[in-house]
Amino acid sequence: MKIITLLTDFSRDSSYVAQMKAVILRIIENVNIVDISHSVTPQAVEEGAFILATSLLYFPKGSIHVGVVDPGVGTNRRGIIVKTKHHILVGPDNGLLIPAARRLGNFEVYEISNKRYMLKKISHTFHGRDVFAPVAAYIAKGVPIEKIGEKIENFVDLNLFSEVIFSSSRLSGRVVYIDNFGNIITNIEASKLLNKKKFDEEVKITLGKRKHKLRLVKSYGFAKKGEPLITIGSNGFIEISINQGNAAKKMGVKKGEKCTIHLN
């Protein structure tokens, strides 16, 4: 059975999600639809891209992934299909799909153009239902991507991970996600820090304009309740947390802020 995943900023209780699923099921009944998340911050393309990029590695080969964080819906922004060796991604051409594709390996991008594989009536404000959902369903049904659109080279890129700076004295990146617990998740790969520091060592870190000294621990429970810490998140990126507390609120940190880890 084919798997189609959905990631949106519609919210968990939105009927828009059900409408997308209904469109898919009308085209292909024998399919497993998996919700990655519908709680992406509205219009937060980078946040959605991070969630996709850290989730897709766990899905079986042959999965099809639909991402809809689409502030440019109804404009001249294109719809695209991204083909990797083992996965296919469908969504807007705004960078949302590209970090995930890069983590999956080599990829090709196709512009969605054949209206035969869209709904007959296309809303100016809901391409998730009228374009991306049916396209994903037809691909799951076996329609070749080449029949749905043509290969392009000039897609919108989003360098979510490649912008990180690694040097002998520092690791510099950004806060890309704050989860429901208030954990501050960066785009800095943890392996780079572990090459320089050991667990239980103190690490100097600058978040935005604020400087901190935090202990590097294996997990939250190795710190006292209420103690700020630095750890390795479950997806392999540097995470700043407070044991049983909300680090983002306590430290006044927001998405997009610069994060520098000082190694000397």
Segment 101-126, tens digit of pLDDT: 999 999 999 999 999 999 999 999 99
* Helix/strand/coil percentages in the chain, nearest 5: 25, 35, 40
Structure tokens at 201: 């060592």
Share of the chain above pLDDT 90, in %: 90
For 123-130, what is the mean pLDDT? 97
Structure tokens at 74: 């109804």
pLDDT of residue 226: 96
Share of the chain above pLDDT 70, in %: 100
Residue 158's pLDDT band, with cuts at 50, 70 and 90, is very high
Residue 162's pLDDT band, with cuts at 50, 70 and 90, is confident
Residue 166's pLDDT band, with cuts at 50, 70 and 90, is confident
Residue 179's pLDDT band, with cuts at 50, 70 and 90, is very high
Strands (E) in 9-148, as ranges, are: 31-37, 64-68, 79-84, 88-92, 107-112
* Pair 67, 97: CB distance under 8 Å: yes
Domains 2-152 and 165-262 share a fold: no
Residue 7's pLDDT band, with cuts at 50, 70 and 90, is very high
End-to-end CA distance of the chain: 52
For 229-252, what is the mean pLDDT? 96
Query: Looking at the whole model, is its pTM more than 0.85?
Result: yes
Label the pairing between strands 2-8 and 64-68.
parallel
2-152 maps to CATH 1.10.3710.10: no
CATH number assigned to the domain covering 165-262: 2.40.30.90
Return d(Cα 87, Cα 65) in angstroms, integer: 8
**HSE, side-chain direction, 13 A CA sphere, residue 28:** 21
Query: In this predicted model, which residue has the larger pLDDT, 168 or 202?
Result: 202
Q: What is the pLDDT of residues 18-70, one digit of tens each?
A: 999 999 999 999 999 999 999 999 999 999 999 999 999 999 999 999 999 99
For 130-139, what is the mean pLDDT? 99
Q: Rounded mean pLDDT of the chain?
A: 96
Q: Does pLDDT of 163 surpass 90?
A: no
Q: Does pLDDT of 164 surpass 90?
A: no
Structure tokens at 211: 């400087």
* Domain segments of the chain as ranges: 2-152, 165-262
Return d(Cα 87, Cα 107) in angstroms, integer: 9
Q: How many CB atoms lie within 10 A of CB 74?
A: 12
Query: In this predicted model, which residue has the larger pLDDT, 191 or 239?
Result: 239
* Pair 253, 175: CB distance under 8 Å: yes
